[in-house]
Structure 1
């Protein structure tokens, strides 16, 4: 599906406007419906109560990664103009457009609550600390208000997840026709997400990938340090094995696709961010199967 999205963009079927529409359709319509349908149809109140304390694992992992990013930026002599972007991309992963379809393909619907738990921590880190760091790289006078940041954190997918949780906790049953609609609309999430990845790869251009110290540092953080750290944190924990596997896979996702958008808003180096998104997305196609094979053998 990624290759189809890439090929159709190359021959002119999809353009930048279409990729923006696809992004909105997934994040604002399809994914919230997917969350509501999955949570209300697959989980009980007791199961939900058991998974929320597991937020501590991604929060602790991202905090340690952020602290480590300071050391790597000096060790690798990163350009001071890229300090904020480097730390943000080093610490945060693409938990929706790549993480969700990958985990669904690997573990099925049972992975959804753990994907969303990781997503809650990741999106909060990015839209608070991550945005602050990227803003420091730029010279723009644009300022994102607290209300805007609040809206980014409580995005439609997270609100859909929370709405589904409330329905389960209050034992409220939605009418069958609504559940059917959420199921059909939600089923758009995976294929459109994969198409979107292919579109962005084609638009940014794989030819723009050039090896550098920055690229080494971010790839090391995303694909080696983050999953290794998460593995250490969850290995001895008394939690389901599928949660351990999902958290490790989620931690090794590529750079968030929002990074270039935020960089452009604040006049930081959006091209630098876009190249890192492209590089890590391409490499994730190689890393994820290897990592999947390792975690399923260990857990």
Structure 2
């Protein structure tokens, strides 16, 4: 079980290493990395959202588990609040503060979280994984993207239309469309489902390749311990699971839900952060370093978390 729980992290690291090696060999350049970021955020991820929601949920199931959203929502709200205090304490560069706060509060709930929870608890964990995923996705593609985009703006002022565009990004629109289709019990034609499935499956490898590209372009020597990394580690691997444990442990809710939520809260940085940073002209190299560092460190954290939460189920 230990090896299965770590396998999701290893898969990501191998994909990142492949993107890195191909870039070093001259297959990918800066222009290709820019195209990849657009392909992931504007095509692959929206399809992934629609396909995931419509295939994993029914209307009754959705209505039954939606109240559980309160726990990850409250946890992430508190984390975003703490991120302002932590970024002040660590004196984060003003050009990185949006990315720092977004990465501090949002976790990799699907690319790492889903395979880890499946390995630990089996298919019974999927509903709770996706509940956390709903909250995490909404936070990342609204407040998280807003903060990342603010890092890339020379003039931070926005009009109302720019704010609306920023909030209702293609991935969030895909997520919302999936919810509407499930609630209205609309069944997509089989060929559309297949197309969404195939396009959505591009999300993980392309996102990982993008991170590898950025690491190759900036150089691995730039990945070194820093106060920024310490702050991100503090949020992802200490404060997030502690907050979630405090919220759910005293409650009379299923122990499996408690365990899944704690695991999900302590996953590494969202792999989409560097892609979004690139799209909005923020520091994608900075984001790529944090994704890789937290993903590597999760090889240590996953077994520790596993030993802790297995006592709950």
Q: TM-score range by the shorter chain?
A: 0.7 to 0.9
- Cα distance in structure 2, aligned partners of 1:225 and 1:92: 10
1:116 and 2:130 correspond: no
Find 1:125's aligned residue among 117, 131, 143.
143
Deviation for aligned residue 1:262: 8.2
Q: Which SS does the other structure have where 1:257 is aligned? A: helix
Equivalent runs, 1:17-166 vs 2, <5 Å: 17-73=31-87, 75-76=89-90, 78=91, 81=94, 84-85=97-98, 88-89=101-102, 91-93=104-106, 95=108, 99-107=109-117, 110=126, 111-128=129-146, 134=151, 140-141=154-155, 143-166=157-180
Structure 1: unaligned runs, 5 residues or longer: none
Find 1:249's aligned residue among 261, 264, 282.
264
Find 2:194's aligned residue among 166, 180, 196.
180
TM-score by length of 2: 0.75
Give per-residue Cα distances to partners, 1:124-162, cap 9 Å, x unaligned. 222346655x47xx8x32534432332232222222222
Aligned residue for 2:11? Answer: none
1:227 and 2:237 correspond: no
Count of residues in Structure 1 that have an aligned counterpart in Structure 2: 288
After superposition, the CA RMSD in angstroms is: 3.4
Q: Which SS does the other structure have where 1:157 is aligned? A: helix
Structure 2: unaligned runs, 5 residues or longer: 1-14
TM-score by length of 1: 0.78
- Cα distance in structure 1, aligned partners of 2:148 and 2:265: 18
C-alpha contact (below 8 Å) 1:30/1:189 kept by paired residues? yes
Deviation for aligned residue 1:179: 1.6
C-alpha contact (below 8 Å) 1:230/1:251 kept by paired residues? no
Aligned residue for 2:7? Answer: none
Deviation for aligned residue 1:45: 0.7
Q: Which moved more, 1:269-278 or 1:190-199?
A: 269-278
Q: Which SS does the other structure have where 1:101 is aligned? A: coil
Deviation for aligned residue 1:48: 1.0
Change (3 A) 1:290 1:4: farther
Equivalent runs, 1:201-280 vs 2, <5 Å: 201-237=215-251, 238=253, 241=256, 244-246=259-261, 248-254=263-269, 256-257=273-274, 260-261=277-278, 264=281, 275-280=289-294
C-alpha contact (below 8 Å) 1:204/1:278 kept by paired residues? no
C-alpha contact (below 8 Å) 2:59/2:182 kept by paired residues? yes
Change (3 A) 1:273 1:116: same
